[in-house]
Structure 1
């Protein structure tokens, strides 16, 4: 049983389910929320007013907020778990950076999946910018096929736990690992991040296909070609191709592209049925990171200069006013290509690793 002191920042579906998992495994958990109503209800009734409303949360969870945690609180923690949407993460890390001792700080674990739209920055680079390179090099990224509704029911779940420091990845895996939540370590956090971002974009495409009435052959083909494309983009960026065959890669891609519980799949499905994006987002009730990630992912694709017809098609529908049926017709009439095509040469990851003062790729 783990006996860590953990501060979870973010009280959405995923932050809540992981807080409950850790508390159930023996950790003492503080859960930060910006909602006073959520804080009061959690502490009084061990429930959340908006997310996972039917679940009775562990009594080992104490909610704090809406004021940001103090330096005294942070200094007593063994682990900081960030379950913050990528587009909001930089501000949270700015607030957190002044509370951290660079030489003796808690283990920092990140579970967001996305790319910062304005900068095309991965979370690793955002951490380096706001908290320093040494903290970035020991930060850990947890990703994989992991719906909150199933974790909260202790359904068997398996995830990748990645860091540039395998020592810190091992420590994070030890914090989370339980028979119902198996952790596999990985030393390619950049690949894991690109998987987590890309799969949300491809889930939009899978949802569109389902909404149009395409059946199993089309879905299997689309997922497989999305994996090839996601791998091509990742390798061009500088990630290991093996990472895309991991739980964070093909595992998460399969889950997100095949389940109606996926928010990104749902957005795509409703687009395929003819609803407007604006109406879908107004009525979805939660964040579908693929919609914003598509912007940053498109910029990365253009930067590395590889063919990515599926992601480009998604972007054209979301942001260029393209008609879905015309886009699909164009996709189906593309010329034949080689099935596997991995690019070589210098890539953006070399610049990022230089920023982190690392001379070689750890993977």
Structure 2
């Protein structure tokens, strides 16, 4: 039986960019919480179908969505519409964030900036930029410092069924993180706030790459020992990469770190796990991507991660192996042999200090490296 929702003290106007799986479930969650929600899609056919039937023709097809949601598009909403919104939520692929924010920026009112929330998980391929860096480049440091990021173990199909779910909400601004937490908080959806958006982003992006590795292992016929090893060593790599980028190591022990990693690496419902599993079964990447039916961000993120770990000088053999398997044609069994043949090493080893990458980012944000709101 579904729990009763808590009626908010203030009804917010929320515009969600994207109409995919996660965008749709969050729209339903906020609409069911009595907020006024607009779901933007590039597809006119989606807009027409959703507004007529209150169903998503592509994702969560059996679910009847809240009548507090209206689909808009395919054009980007105009300045008057944007300035009437109190919350802008971005649930589009990371590779599309820069273009969308660039188009959106002229429509923003700098005297009355809405709450910015980002739920995408990935690294921009060409620049190796986190979403936080893309926001700085397109919208300026003030908006980036106030932006909030949501991540954690949260499958869309379970959220729309109101199964108990917990997520991390992080921002350099504790005030904005708290606003986001209050917006989403319901008896079945619990939010924990934090002030490490870099860690939240790194964890959310990298866990998709390790999910591909876990799926490969299962596809090859390996069992529980192997999966547990991959998840644990993947967590060590994530923490090492994140620390080199200026994230707090403790962040990776939370919901956005080990929580989301465990979920994504251990469930066939994960798109990234599915890609890996089918690769392990012998299918080609091209065929898998053509028939998957949705975006698996780990496939594109693997490119950005490889460039990033090379730039940072971080040892990340699993992430490197996934990149080589996806893009350099390395035979999967060969990759497994190479991983297991590495010489014995120290289990937990973090960089002594963050690299130049974080110093550059903090300069862009006009913050010092220890800033907390």
Corresponding residue number in structure 1 for 2:371: 362
Corresponding residue number in structure 1 for 2:210: 202
Corresponding residue number in structure 2 for 1:264: 272
The Cα of 1:326 is off from its aligned counterpart by 0.8
Corresponding residue number in structure 2 for 1:33: 41
Q: Does 1:317 align with 2:325?
A: yes
Q: Does 1:60 align with 2:75?
A: no
Distance 2:205 2:231 in 1: 15
What are the Cα deviations for residues 198-223 of structure 1, in whole angstroms up to 9, with x where unaligned? 00000000000000001011111110
Corresponding residue number in structure 2 for 1:176: 184
Distance 1:184 1:26 in 2: 22
The Cα of 1:346 is off from its aligned counterpart by 4.1
Give 3-state SS (helix, strand or coil) of 1:98's partner: helix
Question: What TM-score results when the alignment is normalised by the length of structure 2?
Answer: 0.96
The Cα of 1:9 is off from its aligned counterpart by 0.8
Question: What TM-score results when the alignment is normalised by the length of structure 1?
Answer: 0.99
Corresponding residue number in structure 1 for 2:148: 140
Kindly tell me the number of residue pairs found equivalent between the two proteins: 363
Give 3-state SS (helix, strand or coil) of 1:271's partner: helix
What are the Cα deviations for residues 73-132 of structure 1, in whole angstroms up to 9, with x where unaligned? 111111001101000111100111011112311101000000000000000010011111
Distance 2:126 2:101 in 1: 17
Corresponding residue number in structure 2 for 1:353: 362
Corresponding residue number in structure 2 for 1:274: 282
Q: Does 1:97 align with 2:105?
A: yes
Distance 1:224 1:112 in 2: 24
Give 3-state SS (helix, strand or coil) of 1:200's partner: helix
Q: Does 1:340 align with 2:345?
A: no
Distance 2:134 2:314 in 1: 24
What are the Cα deviations for residues 234-287 of structure 1, in whole angstroms up to 9, with x where unaligned? 111111001101100000000000000000000000000000001100100000
Distance 2:216 2:187 in 1: 36
Any stretches of 5+ residues in structure 1 without a counterpart?
A: none
**Contact 2:243–2:353 (CA under 8 A) maintained in structure 1:** no
**Contact 2:166–2:191 (CA under 8 A) maintained in structure 1:** yes
Give 3-state SS (helix, strand or coil) of 1:233's partner: helix
Distance 2:44 2:56 in 1: 11
What are the Cα deviations for residues 130-157 of structure 1, in whole angstroms up to 9, with x where unaligned? 1111000000000010111111111111
Distance 1:130 1:64 in 2: 23
Q: Does 1:119 align with 2:118?
A: no
Corresponding residue number in structure 2 for 1:153: 161
Q: Does 1:331 align with 2:339?
A: yes
Corresponding residue number in structure 1 for 2:3: none
**Contact 1:128–1:135 (CA under 8 A) maintained in structure 2:** yes
Distance 2:370 2:288 in 1: 41
| Structure-to-structure mapping, 1:70-85, within 5 angstroms | 70-85=78-93
The Cα of 1:179 is off from its aligned counterpart by 1.1
Any stretches of 5+ residues in structure 2 without a counterpart?
A: 1-6
